[in-house]
Each structure stands twice: as C-alpha cells, then as structure tokens.
Amino acid sequence: MPENENQSRIIITTRDSRVATMVDIDKHSYFLGPLKETESFDLFCKKVFSNRDGRRCPDQLKDLAKGIVAKCDGLP
C-alpha cells in the first residue's frame, strides 16, 4: 500500500481485470496468477484441517479434497 498521510486503506479484490481498471490505481495493482495444484491443495488442507496436527488431509478424504481443489482451478 502506498505510504501517505492517510491512515485509511481500501483493498479491492477481483477476478475480472476490467473491474480493476475502473479504479484509478494502476501503479498499485497486483496481478496474481493461479496457484499450482500442489499449492492449492496445501492451502486447502491448511484452512480446512487447521485444528489437526500437521494440518494434513486424512487419507479417507484426499480424493474428495483433490476434487474440490480441482474445481477451484487455482483460485485460493
């Protein structure tokens, strides 16, 4: 975020680059690519199984979890 006298910040997130271009902040835009399959799976397991030791997906749920991650197509 740019440093200035204001204490307020607004963060806009979108999948549609046309929305981002409507806001006059081109020099402060960050375009992120999709996550790799392994990164997506690791993030999913970290969020879903965060109360478990090691944050690992149980073996009996791995196929289901990988199916969910595949539907996201790299989006966090």
CB 34 within 8 A of CB 74: yes
Digit-coded pLDDT (tens) for 11-34: 777 777 787 777 765 567 777 888
User: 34, 36, 49, 40: which is closest to 68 by C-alpha?
Assistant: 40
Decide if pLDDT at 46 tops 80. yes
* pLDDT value, residue 53: 60
Pairwise pLDDT comparison (50 vs 25), residue with the higher score: 50
> Average per-residue pLDDT in the chain?
80
Q: Domain segments of the chain: what residues?
A: 37-70
* C-alpha separations of 39 from 36, 45, 67 in Å: 5, 10, 14
Percent of the chain as helix, strand, coil, to the nearest 5: 50, 0, 50
Name the range with the highest mean pLDDT among 6-10, 15-19, 57-61.
57-61
Q: Is the pTM of this model over 0.75?
A: no
